[in-house]
Amino acid sequence: MPGAVAGRKKIGVLALQGDFEAHERALRRAGAEAVEVRSAADLDELDGLVMPGGESTTMWKLINEEHLVEPLREFGRRRPIFGTCAGAILLASEVANPPQPSLGLMDISIERNAYGRQLDSRIARLQPQALEGDLEAVFIRAPIIRRVGGDAKVLASYQGDPVLVEQGRHLVATFHPELTDDSRVHRIFLNKIP
């Protein structure tokens, strides 16, 4: 493992915008070492990366300003990335409402703010196939995954729409698992790292 210390996986959290600190806490609860990523050099020695929620247009602008587009794509070709909410939008191959550029690392189509405005945010109970028991899911101005490509697998759905999807080494959630005390979704991601 490139960055592991004493068996712990070293996971970066993109710290340009959004609640990256909540992901850092969740990763530590799940048994990983969490470090903040703000530049291409910060990607060195990481075992994986989390792209947090936030505002996807702003995040994309900051990723461009920091010259991170190609370094993130290259990182994703070699190592696992977990995107939540805006992070899921940035990993998608197609983004609508409105369209915006993305890293295109997962074969999914996603619609921004599809559940409505901030007032339409909610907490739901999911029954993921990959986990035992219920999972609390916090949706905040959440996107909807409208299409899942053949190489991707739906791990959980809400109201008939995929909300937790994996494809190879990558994982996306349209909800915020970092806002609960349940670390199981972060553990799914950590288990993707050899």
CATH number of the structural domain spanning residue 16 = 3.40.50.880
**178 assigned to active site:** yes
Asked if the structure places residue 26 within a domain, the reply is: yes
Burial of 8 (0-12, 13-18, 19+ CB in 10 A): middle
Asked if the structure places residue 4 within a domain, the reply is: no
Angle between helices 69-78 and 56-65 (to 10 degrees): 100
Q: Assess contact for 155 and 188: CB atoms under 8 A.
A: yes
Whether the model pTM is above 0.75: yes
Confidence of residue 149 (pLDDT cuts 50, 70, 90): very high
Confidence of residue 141 (pLDDT cuts 50, 70, 90): confident
What is the domain extent for residue 90?
10-190
Q: What is the mean pLDDT of the chain?
A: 91
Asked if the structure places residue 89 within a domain, the reply is: yes
**85 assigned to active site:** yes
Confidence of residue 3 (pLDDT cuts 50, 70, 90): very low
Asked if the structure places residue 5 within a domain, the reply is: no
Total of domains in the chain: 1
For residue 80, pLDDT beyond 50: yes
**170 assigned to active site:** no
Instruction: State the catalytic residue, choosing from 23, 24, 85, 170.
Output: 85
Asked if the structure places residue 155 within a domain, the reply is: yes
Asked if the structure places residue 119 within a domain, the reply is: yes
List, for residues 94-139, the tens digit of each pLDDT value: 999 889 999 999 999 999 876 655 445 788 999 888 788 899 999 9
Of 101, 87, 75, residue with least CA distance to 22: 87
Instruction: State the catalytic residue, choosing from 33, 170, 178, 186.
Output: 178
Asked if the structure places residue 1 within a domain, the reply is: no
